[in-house]
Structure 1
Amino acid sequence: MDLIISLTPPLAAVLLALATRRVNISLFLAIWIGGWFVAGNPVAAVGQTFDWFAEVMTDEWNARFLVLVSLLGAGAAFMYRTGGSHAVSRWLSRRISTGRSAQLLTWLLGLVIFFNDYVNSVIVGNATRDLTGEHRVSREKLAYLLDSTSAPMATLGPVSDWIGYQVSLIAAAFTALSLTTEKPYMAFLQSIPWNFYALLCLVAVPTIILLGDFGPMRAAEKRADDDGDLVAPGDTPLSSIENDLGEADTENGRLYHFLLPLGVLLGVACWALWYTGGGAEGKPLMDALADTDVAVSLSWAAFAMVCTALGLALLQRHTLEACEQTLLAGFRTMLPALVIMVLAWTIGTVTGALDTGEHVIEATRDWLSPGLLPVLIFAIAMVISFATGSSWGAMAILTPVAVPLAYNIGDITLVHMAIGAIFSGSIFGDHCSPISDTTVMSSIFAGSDHIAHVRTQIPYALVPAAVAGLLYIASMVVSSAWLLLAAGLVVQTIAIWLITRMPSD
């Protein structure tokens, strides 16, 4: 019964959002339901709900993240108003002649920007939004491309704040086991081939681009291609820089109006992630990334980007009044997303108050065996991350439990498998959850309706997830991760080919 109660608020949020397409109302009602469980009656639940709002908004990391997202919106606004975004689109349009090649370019850029998922969405979304629009690629498809390369690449590396975080979780689990013979970073590297979902997801993107679309995405792409409607009639993008900011200085816009602010963003972010983690004090790179302050580092980088873009606007003879209006307009474009994020964080607080993660683990603990452990961990990670909207939260809940369990009932190879399964399932649930921050960011910078993005992406995510689940089951008889992965890629390609050949409704 405790498990059902603890899962009710997050599942209610997801189901209501998908059914009503009103994310904010759905999230608020789900939080209120959680408050009812905690407070004991519906009236007191209102007070509990607003106490949770105050808690998440005054949390230091959350507050910094709200500032970060606002600054990213302002930076994107300046790149648009100075004509930088249009200059990039013009430059790329002379080299990209089809919608398929525009999508492949988006995928390749997503692979290159691997050190942070948020920065990935900002850079890739701004660089390709106009280009894909010119070739009638739906906003839902662009959001899928952003979402399916950002987190999977960040969790695989080669260097990212995600990896630093993941290695720190592994290190803590090894310390609890008094396992001094194994190096946490080497254990992470050994777990990469077992991170089936992330690897399969990255390959699924170009496979779908080349073989064709299916499910709700097929309808979205047909609509965009036939009618030129990048967003379905009646849908509302989370933000639209173009509509909110008005005319851009397309005549004077140059590539450097786009590339220089982004170069500053990347450079300062890399330096700050190293510096705030103690890199200047002599720490090795991965140790510094494990201890870095992501919110502080990226806030510095976003502020530096805004300052650079503001300077370029002034050099273009924009008045101070116009620059101030651009700055505020950039903040406004992020407001709907900021509201969703506060509500999503509050759902995370609700699941913490109801011990959702612990109840899920407890309900499955007695089923675990060495052979079944990887696939069960994968499934549990999917449930927790989907319910909470946080892949990092699912990793933090599962790693201290699953790693010692794998070591005690198996060997170090089973530990590597368990680590890969944790990260794999966490990313899948995060992808499919409408209350995930990375999913929200993808919707923002693709200019997509958020629920439309979730609805069209879920069938695409289910394919690599299903293949990953089969591979974890097959690991009971096949011990080579690379052999399993090779077989999985073949199965996934055949599955996508078959699905794309099925007639549409």
Structure 2
Amino acid sequence: MDAFISLLPPLFAVALALATRRVNISLFVSIWIGGWILTGNPITGIAQTFDWFAAVMTDEWNARFLVLVSLLGAGAAFMHRTGGSQALAQWLSGKISTSRGSLLLTWALGVLIFFNDYVNSVIVGNASRELTAKQNVSREKLAWVMDATSAPMATIGPVSDWIGYQVSLIAGAFAVISLTDEKPYWVFLQSIPWNFYSLLCLISVPMIILMGDFASMRKAEVRAGETGELIAPGDTPLSSVEDDLGEVPEGRGSVWNFLVPLVVLIGFGCWALWYTGGGSEGKPLMDAIADTDVSVALSWAAFAMVAVGMAMALLQKQTLEDCEKTLLAGFRTMLPALVIMVLAWSIGTVTDDLETGDYVIEATREWLSPNLLPLLIFLIAMVISFSTGSSWGAMAILTPIGVPLAFNIGDMTLVSMAIGAIFSGSIFGDHCSPISDTTVMASIFSGSDHVAHVRTQIPYAAVPAAVSALLYVGSIVVASPYLLLLIGVVIQGLLIKFLASRKTPKTS
């Protein structure tokens, strides 16, 4: 089996989803193709497909994540039914009166909520969805702003469960090469300036908001601005709290009905991340974060959020029956997303069983050299993460290979560059792959059609990705990552300005 064949199922899933706009069917067919490739028979391939479904749904981490997403949906439902989301939108609308202002606020919130990408989606989506709707911002653009900040921020911190995971991978790679005189966390910090994609992606959001839209996103914004249609005709949002729960009586609740559950979610989440990692046993903060059980910690936090939301509903004299309906409706809003996640995880299992990552690395091994190493690692990480929908998976595949290789053919500077390139390319896929859980979460909590979100986002992700590739080439002659970043920001600004100035045919 070669690299192309092993890449066929995930690439087919992406292409078919974009062509047909039916993401569930596309994912199922692609998983079946993977089963066919693995077993050599289309009939046994179907049996293999359902074996994969069973495996991912009974995996402990995945099962907890399904519970987590359901609880987050219920928490968002209580925010809505107690009037908190509406009160926040009304309060913010009195202070922000432009679409640019509402999107810049969304971006700022995304930057501030850096400790977990899932929590980022819940908080930012619920805080900005109604506000941006009042300014006729398309759901596609809201989803892009949320998606472009959640994963990039989580990977550069300063403190997050992502960073704990990344540092643990670096520590493991150092152990393999007996590199005991370097601190993994300090090397991680040194790699951040080389994480070009994450940094440029974060900067691209205000740039595009202020300079103008291009490609298919421009059409979406024109549609929303001229017709008020936040979602294109024929598109279907992954979930809609407003549609599923109905209108809330005027004057019910206040901003506190949004802020209190939010504070509980963040505060309890931070404590649980520290506690489940062994913080109460005396572990240093970063060691505790590295060893934390994310699915357990965030499930606890989401349950606490739901409990507080229900208590606030009862204080408003809502009945237990009303609370139960809100709870079940919140679960129901997450059902389409849960189906996509199971399918996306199954595609990840397909690529694992077909050894996609190993084949991609083997196909490019002969090209590697000290000068080209950061660029090639970045490109390989992009392919793996986009194909599998998992940045953590791409990091886990490449860090044990890339770090020793960089150390053996270069020095610690090249090691920092390699680490930055691994995380940079890995975030690209997590940011814009249609089978990434982070991309799905952005679609859920923005109220966007998933395929529409992916289709409009890819051109925007391609800009910082292309500039990042140029900067890795530039690192051959320019040693400073800060100078390279400055050059990259200028190039990115000029590129966005050029693309935004091009005329787009009017939609019919």
Tell me which interval the TM-score lies in, with the shorter structure as reference length.
over 0.9
Contact 1:82 1:250 in 2 (8 A): no
- Write the distance in 2 (CA, Å) between the matches of 1:51 and 1:503: 49
Deviations 1:23-70 (A, max 9, x none): 000000000001111122111111111111000000000000000000
2:86 alignment counterpart: 86
Which residue in 1 is equivalent to 2:146? Answer: 146
Letter in 2 for 1:366: E
* Runs of at least 5 residues in structure 2 that lack an aligned partner in the other structure: none
| Offset, 1:250 | 3.6
* Letter in structure 2 aligned against 1:148: A
Q: Tell me how far 1:285 sits from its aligned partner.
A: 0.6
Q: Is the counterpart of residue 129 in structure 1 residue 129 in structure 2? A: yes
Counterpart residue number, 1:287: 287
Q: By how many angstroms is 1:498 displaced?
A: 1.0
Q: Distance in 2 between matches of 1:249 and 1:4?
A: 56
2:43 corresponds to: 43
Q: How large is the Cα RMSD of the aligned pairs?
A: 0.6
The structure-2 alpha-carbon separation of the partners of 1:60 and 1:480, relative to structure 1 and needing over 3 Å to count, comes to: same
Any conservation in 2 of the 1:207–1:493 contact (CA below 8 Å)? yes
Residues 82 and 253 in structure 1, CA contact (< 8 A), matched pair in contact too: yes
Q: Deviations over 1:366-400 (max 9, x none)?
A: 10000000000000000000000000100000000
**Distance in 2, Cα, partners of 1:250 & 1:416:** 55
Matched letter for residue 232 of structure 1: A
Structure 2 equivalent of residue 354 of structure 1: 354
Q: Does 1:104 align with 2:104?
A: yes
Aligned-pair CA distance for 1:252 = 2.0
State the AA in 2 paired with 1:435.
I
Shift of 1:232: 0.3
CA distance in 2 between counterparts of 1:248 and 1:75 reads 16
Question: 1:402 corresponds to which residue?
Answer: 402
Deviation at 1:432, TM superposition (A): 2.2
The percentage of counterpart residues that share the same residue type is: 73
In the other structure, the counterpart of 1:268 is 268
Helix, strand or coil: the match of 2:239? Answer: coil
Q: Give secondary structure in 2 for the equivalent of 1:233.
A: coil
Q: Deviations over 1:419-446 (max 9, x none)?
A: 0000000111222210000000000000
State the match for 1:240 in structure 2.
240
- What is aligned with 2:334? 334
Equivalenced residue count is 505
Establish whether residue 344 from structure 1 lines up as the match of residue 344 from structure 2.
Answer: yes
CA distance in 2, matches of 1:250, 1:170: 53
Query: Structure 1: which amino acid aligns with 2:34?
Result: G
Deviations 1:178-201 (A, max 9, x none): 000110000100000000000000
- The aligned residue for residue 318 of structure 1 is 318
2:191 counterpart residue number: 191
| Amino acid across the alignment from 2:346 | T
| In 1, Cα distance between equivalents of 2:417 and 2:52 | 37
Shift of 1:239: 0.4
Report if the CA contact (8 A) 1:196-1:420 is conserved.
yes
Which residue pairs with 1:371 in the alignment? 371
Aligned residue for 1:334, secondary structure, equals: helix
Q: Unpaired runs of 5+ in structure 1? A: none
2:117 pairs with 1:117: yes
The 8 Å contact of residues 86 and 250 in structure 1, kept in 2 or not, is answered as: no
Instruction: Indicate whether 1:423 and 2:423 are aligned.
Output: yes
In structure 2, give the amino acid aligned to 1:103: L
Per the TM alignment, residue 494 of structure 1 is displaced from its structure 2 partner at its CA by 0.9
Runs ≥4 in structure 1, deviation > 3 angstroms?
none
Q: Deviations over 1:123-153 (max 9, x none)?
A: 0000000000000000000000000000000
Report the residue type matching 2:23 in the other structure.
V
2:323 is aligned with 1:296: no
| CA distance in structure 2 between the aligned counterparts of 1:406 and 1:250, rounded to whole angstroms | 61
The AA in structure 2 aligned to 1:397 is I
- Taking the aligned partners of 1:316 and 1:249, their CA distance within structure 2 comes to 12
Letter in 2 for 1:335: L
Structure 2: distance between partners of 1:15 and 1:436: 15
Q: Secondary structure at 2:186's aligned position in 1?
A: helix
* TM-score of the superposed pair, with normalisation by structure 1: 0.99
Per-residue deviation, residues 317-336 of structure 1 (Å, max 9, x unmatched): 11111110110000000000
Residue 254 of structure 2 aligns with which residue?
254
Q: Are the structure 2 counterparts of residues 250 and 167 from structure 1 closer, same or farther at C-alpha, using a change threshold of 3 Å?
A: farther
